[in-house]
């Protein structure tokens, strides 16, 4: 199935991935990353649960679950671009568009910042979810101290919008979460995502 035809479904998990056009840098500063995360809160939190994320200089990863039973979405009747089937993808599109507009204004440029369409695949296995969390967190070389990843937020006691407790449940406990992240990860399972 072509990626544009694979709609995000209520109650399902998806890794969302996108990189800069021609693999160019999309986060040039800490402020860019912070701004993007504020936009994630604005555009995605009402419709998605967030389990993991990582912002790298030329791409981002989000592990999301589409929330179920959202009233706004259930009012859609048609099957076109504005249908329920497309609603959740459109929210991610709004996030990307909003960031692109601000990025272009700040850096006095025009045109797309990210490739289109964003990559996603439906996940239905807890083992796959655990592996995705590790894969996403291990993107930076020094992931244990990386500022723009959910790794530290999962381990922290500070307030977060991440579903930290659910992530910990996938690993059993804090010690196993840390131990699993210390292992070398071969990433073979991600070939389905067509990164």
Q: What is the pLDDT of residue 69?
A: 76
pLDDT at 192: 43
Measuring CA to CA, which residue among 107, 112, 89, 103 is closest to residue 43?
89
User: Phi-psi bin for 125: left (phi > 0), alpha (psi -120 to 50), beta?
Assistant: beta
Distance of alpha carbon 35 from alpha carbon 103, whole angstroms: 10
pLDDT tens per residue, range 4-51: 456 799 999 999 999 999 999 999 999 999 999 999 999 999 999 999
Whole-angstrom CA distances from 122 to 10, 37, 39 are: 11, 23, 23
**pLDDT tens column, 82-109:** 455 588 999 999 999 999 999 999 999 9
Number of domains making up the chain? 1
Segment 130-136 shows an average pLDDT of 96
The pLDDT value given to residue 35: 98
CATH number of domain containing 76: 3.30.70.1290
pLDDT of residue 44: 97
Q: Is the pLDDT of residue 81 over 60?
A: no
Q: What is the pLDDT of residue 77?
A: 47
Could you tell me the residue range of the domain that residue 49 belongs to? 3-193
Residue at token pair 């291990």: 138
Q: How would residue 73 be classed by pLDDT, with cut points 50, 70 and 90?
A: low
Cα-to-chain-centroid distance, residue 109: 25
Q: Residue 76 belongs to what H/E stretch?
A: none
Alpha carbons within 13 angstroms on the beta-carbon side of residue 93 total: 12
Model confidence over 138-181: pLDDT tens digits? 999 999 999 999 999 999 999 999 999 999 999 999 999 999 99
Q: Answer for the pair 91, 44: CB distance below 8 angstroms, yes or no.
A: yes
pLDDT at 86: 80
d(CA 10, CA 88): 9
Asked if the model's pLDDT at residue 191 lies above 50, the reply is no
Q: Determine how many CB atoms are found less than 10 A away from the CB of residue 169.
A: 11
54 backbone dihedrals φ, ψ, rounded to 5°: -155, 130
């Amino acid at each position: 199935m072509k990626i544009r035809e694979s709609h995000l479904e209520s109650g399902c998990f998806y890794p969302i991935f996108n990189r800069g056009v021609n693999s160019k840098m999309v986060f040039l500063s800490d402020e860019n990353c912070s701004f993007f995360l504020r936009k994630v809160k604005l555009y995605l939190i009402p419709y998605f649960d967030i389990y993991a994320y990582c912002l790298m200089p030329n791409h981002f990863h989000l592990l999301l679950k589409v929330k179920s039973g959202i009233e706004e979405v259930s009012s859609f009747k048609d099957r076109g671009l504005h249908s329920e089937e497309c609603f959740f993808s459109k929210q991610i599109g709004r996030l990307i568009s909003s960031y692109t507009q601000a990025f272009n204004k700040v850096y006095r440029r025009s045109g797309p910042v990210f490739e289109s369409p964003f990559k996603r695949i439906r996940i239905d296995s807890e083992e796959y979810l655990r592996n995705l969390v590790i894969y996403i967190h291990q993107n930076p070389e020094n992931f244990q101290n990386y500022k723009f990843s959910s790794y530290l937020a999962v381990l922290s006691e500070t307030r977060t919008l991440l579903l930290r407790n659910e992530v910990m449940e996938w690993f059993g406990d804090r010690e196993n979460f840390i131990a699993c992240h210390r292992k070398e990860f071969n990433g073979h399972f991600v070939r389905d995502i067509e990164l």
